[in-house]
Amino acid sequence: MTTVRLTMAQALVRYLVAQRVATENGTEALFGGVWAIFGHGNVAGLGEALYAGRDQIPTYRGHNEQGMALAATAYAKAHFRRRMMAVTTSIGPGCNNLVTAAATAHVNRLPMLLLPGDIFISRDPDPVLQQVEDFHDGGVSAADCLRPVSRYFDRIVTPHQLLVALPRAIAYLTDPALCGPVTLALPQDVQAMAADWPEEFFAQRVIRIRKPAPEPFEIKAIADLLKTAKRPLIVAGGGVLYSQGGCQALQAFAETHAIPLGETHAGKSALPWDHPLNAGAIGVTGSPAANELAAQADVVIAVGSRLQDFTTGSHSLYAQAKLVSINVNTFDAIKWHGQSVQADAALALAALSTELGGWKSSGDWQQKSLAVNADWRRAITEIVKSSRAALPTYAEVIGAVQASSRDSAAKDIAVCAAGTLPAELHKLWRASFPGGYHMEYGYSCMGYEVAGGLGVKMARPDNEVIVIVGDGSYLMLNNELATSVMLGQKIIVVLTDNFGYACITRLQKACGGAPFNNMIEDCRQGPHGAPHIDFAANARSLGADAENVTSVAELGEAMKRARASDKSYLISIVIDGPQSTPEGGCWWEVGIPEVSERPAAVAARKELDEAKKKQRI
C-alpha cells in the first residue's frame, strides 16, 4: 500500500478537495470553499493546510463566524443541497458563534461542515486561552455546544480517526434524509500531528445524491385513499426543490390529476406563481386562495414538508382533511398520523400518478380552485401597487423591486428570513423559477439576510440577489456586507426601516399585550434618546454604495441604479411598520397567559382556548 505523510489538517483538506458531486451541470466540486476566521485553535494547523491547498479549494474570510456559517447555509440551500461549504473557527468564542447558524442549518435540513478548533488533547498546557473548563468533565470543551445542533459530531483525537470520521461526515452531508450540519472538532495539537496515510484515501470520488424509491405498497395505499377524495390539495415543501426533477414531477402530477397546491416558505417557487393550479402561500402567512382551499380539502398531500405550525395553522387549518405525507425523512413523513411514503418527491409523485391512472379531482373542485387562484393572482398585481398608508408599505416595496427590471421574473432571487417581510413576500413575491424565492423560515433567524444573500450570490453568480430586510434584522448582523464588497459578490439590500420590531409588536398586541420593548419608541431610553441611524451611511462605511429614499417612486429609480452597479448596493426606505397585507393568514397558537390583570390579555386567552378546539389531535 502506497502511503503519503501528512498532518491531520493536511489530510483533511486533501480529502475535501477529492470530493466531487454529480449535478445537472456535470461533475462539480462538492465543497465550494472554506470559510475561515483564524485564531490560535486553527491558524497554525488547519490554516497552514488551507494555504497549501488554496489553489484547489478557496478559503474565504468573513467578519463574524455566525455570518460565515449563515452564508454557507444559504449556499447549500441555493444549490438545493447538492453543493456545500465548510467553516472553520478558533476554539472559544469563535466556535460558539457557530451555534445559531448550525441550528439554522439543522432546522432547515441543510448541509454544512463545521471545523472548529479545539483544546489540546494532550492537556499539557491546560487551561489554554479561551478554554471552557467543565468542573465535572475534563473532556468537555466549547465545541460540545455544537452537539445538539449537529446531525453528526465527532472529536478527532488521533490523526487516523479521520479515516472513519470523514467518510461518515460526507455520508451525512449528502444523504437526502439525514443531511444537516456536521461538526468535526479539531484539537489544535492533533491538527499538527503527522501520520502515514494510504494514497487511495485521497482518490477522487464522485458522489451521486441518492433518490430513495417508494415502496409499492405505500403508493397503492395512498392511491386508494386519493381515489375516494373529491377535494384534494397539495402542500409543496422544500423537498420538492431538493429532489432532482421534483418541480417537473410536481407540475406533471398536479396537472394530470387536476389538484391545486399551496406552497410553504421552503417550497415556494417549485411552481411558477402564475400557474393556474398554484394557490400561492399556505398557512399563517398564506394567501386567501390557498387557505380557503385548505379549509375545505378532504385530503391534503404534503410533499417534502416538515409540517411546522406556520404551514398547518398550528394543526388547525386542514384538521378536517386526511393527511398524506411524502418525505425522504421518516421523522417528517410520519408526523400527525398521516399516511406516509418515505421516498424522493419526484419518484414518489411519478409512481403515485401511474397508480392513479386517469383519476382526477371533482369537477366542482377544479372550477373552484381555478377561480380562487385567478382571483388571488389578480389581487396580487393590485396590492403591490396600491397605497394603503401615508408612508410606503411592505407590499409597495415588493412591487417596486419587481417592477424595476423587465428581467426580474427570470433573474431575481429574493432573500429574507425574519420579521414582517416573510409574510409579505410569501404572499406577494412573484417567483417564476425554482429558487427565485429564498426564505429561511425554518428557524427564522434574524441576521440571516445579508450573510445569506452573500451565500446565495456565491452559489448563483448569474442571478440578481436582492436581500429584503427590516432595520431590526439588519442591525443584528450586517457586517458580511463588507465581505460581499471584498469578494466582489454584489448583492442589493433593500432595507425597510420601521424603527423597531414591528412584526413582534403586532403579535404582542394580538395576544392582548401592551406595546413594550419592541418599537424604539416603546423601549427604555437614556437622556439622549434613541439614535437616528443613517443606514445608507452605515452601508457606505462597509464599502457598499448606498442611498436613502423617501417614496416608492424614488425606490424604483434607486433600484435601477442598484441593478446597474457592479458593487453591493443598499437602499433604505422608511415604511409604515404597522401596515401589513390583511388578505389571507390563519390562526397560530401562541402561549397567552391564563391569568392577567389586563382585560385584553384575558380576552385573547379566551379566543385561544376556543381556537384550540379546532386543532388536529
CB 251 within 8 A of CB 275: yes
Q: Which is nearest to 33 in space by CA: 65, 68, 2?
A: 68
Cα–Cα distance, 548 to 574 (Å, whole number): 9
Rounded distance, CA 398 to CA 266, Å?
19
Q: Tell me the three state secondary structure of residue 185.
A: strand
DSSP-based three-state secondary structure for 418: coil
Phi, psi (deg, nearest 5) at residue 205: -125, 130
Judge whether 503 and 581 are in contact, CB under 8 Å.
no
- Among 343, 356, 328, CA closest to 215: 343
Nearest to 89 by CA among 76, 102, 80: 102
Q: What is the pLDDT of residue 405?
A: 83
Classify residue 614 by burial, with Cβ atoms within 10 Å: 0-12, 13-18, 19+: middle
Cα separation, 46 vs 500, whole angstroms: 41
- The per-residue pLDDT for 292 is 98
The per-residue b/e assignment along 146-179, b for 16 or more CB within 10 angstroms, e otherwise, is beebbbbbbbbeebeebeebbeebbebbbbbbbb
Beta bridge pairs of residue 236: 263, 303
Over residues 551-567, the pLDDT tens digits come to: 999 999 999 999 999 99
| pLDDT value, residue 408 | 62
The whole-number mean pLDDT for each consecutive block of 10 residues of the chain, a chain of 617 residues, reads: 96 98 94 97 97 98 98 98 98 96 98 97 92 92 97 98 98 97 98 98 97 97 97 98 98 98 98 97 98 98 97 95 97 92 98 98 98 98 88 96 80 96 97 97 97 98 97 97 98 96 93 94 95 97 98 96 97 91 95 94 95 89
Tens digits of per-residue pLDDT, 17-27? 999 999 988 99
Of the candidates 433, 441, 427, the residue with the CA atom closest to the CA atom of residue 413: 433
Q: For the chain, what percentages of helix, strand and coil (3-state, to nearest 5) are there?
A: 40, 20, 40
- Distance separating alpha carbons of residues 444 and 588, to the nearest angstrom: 16
Q: The cell 441555493 sits on which residue?
A: 78
- Quick one: pLDDT at residue 1? 84
Q: Closest Cα partner for 587 from 320, 290, 286?
A: 286
Question: Going from the N-terminus, what domains does the chain have, and what CATH number goes with each?
Answer: 3-207 (3.40.50.970), 216-376 (3.40.50.1220), 384-574 (3.40.50.970)
The C-alpha cell at 77 is 440551500
Question: Kind of pairing, strands 261-263 and 278-281?
Answer: parallel
C-alpha radius of gyration, the chain, whole number: 25
pLDDT of amino acid 387:
84
